[in-house]
Amino acid sequence: MKSIQVFDPALCCSSGVCGVDADQALITFAADLEWAAQNGARIDRFNLGQQPLAFAGNATVKGFLDRSGPDALPLILLDGEIAMAGRYPSRAELTHWLGTAEAAPAEPEPEVSGCCSGGRCGG
C-alpha cells in the first residue's frame, strides 16, 4: 500500500475546503485524495496552522521548511520521500504514483463554515 502524506500550508480547516469562497484546486484535490484512498492509498494530511508538531517532528519536512520556508508548501511525500512541492498533484499524477487506472474526478460540495476566504484564513 502506498502512503501519501500531504503537508498543507495554514488552512482554516483540515482540507481547506470550507467557507463560501473555497479554492477550486483544494476542492478538486480533496476529491482526488478520496479517490486515492478508495484505490488503496494510505492518506495522512497535516495542516501547518493546526498541526505544527507534525511538521517539526518529520525530519524530511523540517529540512524542507528550513530550506524553502512555508511559502513553498504544500509538500507531498510518497512513501516518506518528497514527491512534489509547491502545488497539489493532479489525479493523473496520483494515478501514476499508485499504479492504478484513472477515473473521472468527482467534485464534492465544499463545507460552508464561513471560516475562510479564498481557501485560506486571514490573519
Alpha helices in 12-122 (DSSP H): 24-38, 52-56, 59-68, 91-98
Give mean pLDDT, residues 37-42: 95
pTM above 0.85, yes or no: no
In the numeric block, which cell numbers belong to residue 48? 501547518
Closest CA to 119 of 25, 30, 1, 40: 25
pLDDT at 25 over 50: yes
- Evaluate whether 64 touches 85 at the Cβ level (below 8 Å): yes
pLDDT, tens only, 52-105: 999 999 999 999 999 999 999 999 999 999 999 999 999 999 999 998 766 555
The full set of domains in the chain, from first to last, is 3-98 (3.40.30.10)
- Evaluate whether 91 touches 35 at the Cβ level (below 8 Å): yes
pLDDT at 24 over 70: yes
How high is the pLDDT of residue 77? 98
Closest CA to 7 of 62, 53, 48: 48
Alpha carbons 79 and 69: distance in angstroms, whole number: 22
Residue with cell 523540517: 62
